[in-house]
Amino acid sequence: MPDDDGVSSALNMPLGPGGEFDLVRTMLARWGALAHGVGDDAAVLAVPEGERLVVSTDTSVEQVHFRREWLSAEEIGYRATMAALSDVAAMGATPLGFLVALSLPARWIPAVPALADGIGDAARLAETTILGGDVTQGEALGITVTVLGSSARPVPRNGARPGDRLFVTGVLGGPAAALRDLQGGRTPPGTLRERFARPRARLREARWLAAHGARAMIDVSDGLASELRHLATASNVALSLDVARVPVMPGCTLEDAISGGEEYEIVAALPGAIDPSAFVRAFGVSLSEIGIVDAAGIPSVTAYRTVREARVDLGTGHDHFRS
């Protein structure tokens, strides 16, 4: 039953008769070859030999994670899928495919083709496929995406050790600044809106970091400060963040960059020096060294600023991140 791409040859079997499958058919028609194995009780796939499976699930809900007036249906589908892919990126893994569970109010049914297009677009950019899913009625639009991936050496959150350098991909603050505009009824500048509406999971970038020795990684879904605390807690280490080196997107505040979520950039702890210019050449995305792992023992995150080459500690409280 295995075929070339590791997916069951029981591909895209005709779905049974019955009107309840019309929505699934609509989505499959939009996805074309991006959908694999849909139609059986479960999708079948192979995990590459010598690799471990990684799996994560992520839900986006209308009025909780987005509002319909802020985003097109296509962007809503895209964004929910990329958010889920980002968790697999954060493990340094390659996606094997994903499943989509849609909870769908009647008013959203006409938007299903656009939602499917956005989900398909994310699949295409991530070079992966849609393995299956479920469609149910619901009072609010809910999109639960479960991503499977594999890696010979998944990178956890808990591997940071004293002396490791801390890096972050990309520039931060765009989603928070865009969200402020949207919540205030203003139209955000295009570059900021793009960061909010069309995030990119850093899949290839994270694999590069893993290949260059990253021993702890996490994606910036809750905000840089929060993610550093998660990393410190999981690894049981004290971290220091140089706020002067946080890459702030033009048009955004330092606060946007440090506390804003839904960035889907990657924070990595590496034991040695790496050359950010090679990273930039490979991906057209910046890589910034933003801090260091100080000591093992008591999890903490301290903010500091380098002032005339001397470190000035700003403390560990959340407010200090905002100074």
Site for its own copies in 13-72 (CB under 8 A): 13-18, 39-47, 52-61, 63-65
DSSP 57-84: EEEEEBTTTB-TTTS-HHHHHHHHHHHH
234 contributes a contact to its own copies by CB under 8 A:
yes
Contact set for its own copies, span 188-227 (CB under 8 A): 217-219, 222, 226
How would you classify residue 26: left for phi > 0, otherwise alpha for psi between -120 and 50, otherwise beta? Answer: alpha
Strand order in the sheet with 237-242: 216-219, 266-270, 165-169, 287-296, 237-242, 300-307, 310-315
CB-wise, 77 or 133, nearer to its own copies?
A: 133
Distance between CA atoms of 97 and 85, rounded to whole angstroms?
9
| Segment lying near its own copies (by CB under 8 A), choices 12-20, 69-77, 167-175, 285-293 | 12-20
CB-wise, 168 or 192, nearer to its own copies?
A: 168
3-state secondary structure (DSSP) of residue 289: strand
CB of 190 vs its own copies, minimal distance in Å = 29
251 contributes a contact to its own copies by CB under 8 A:
no
Contact set for its own copies, span 96-155 (CB under 8 A): 96, 99-101, 103, 131-134, 136-140, 142, 144, 146-149, 153-154
CB of 309 vs its own copies, minimal distance in Å = 32
CB of 7 vs its own copies, minimal distance in Å = 10
CB-wise, 192 or 214, nearer to its own copies?
A: 214
CB-wise, 149 or 175, nearer to its own copies?
A: 149
The pairing of beta strand 287-296 with beta strand 237-242? antiparallel
Give the number of residues in contact with its own copies, rule: CB under 8 A. 71
Q: Burial, 123: exposed, middle or buried (Cβ in 10 Å; 0-12, 13-18, 19+)?
A: buried
CB of 272 vs its own copies, minimal distance in Å = 21
Distance between CA atoms of 313 and 251, rounded to whole angstroms?
26
**Chain mean position to CA 273:** 25
Show the DSSP H helices in 212-287 as ranges: 224-235, 254-259, 276-283
Contact set for its own copies, span 156-185 (CB under 8 A): 156-158
Q: What is the DSSP letter of 222?
A: S
CB of 104 vs its own copies, minimal distance in Å = 10
CB-wise, 109 or 181, nearer to its own copies?
A: 109
Contact set for its own copies, span 81-100 (CB under 8 A): 87-88, 90-91, 93, 96, 99-100
Question: Nearest CA to 265 among 83, 2, 17?
Answer: 83
**Chain mean position to CA 129:** 17
CB-wise, 142 or 175, nearer to its own copies?
A: 142
CB-wise, 44 or 254, nearer to its own copies?
A: 44
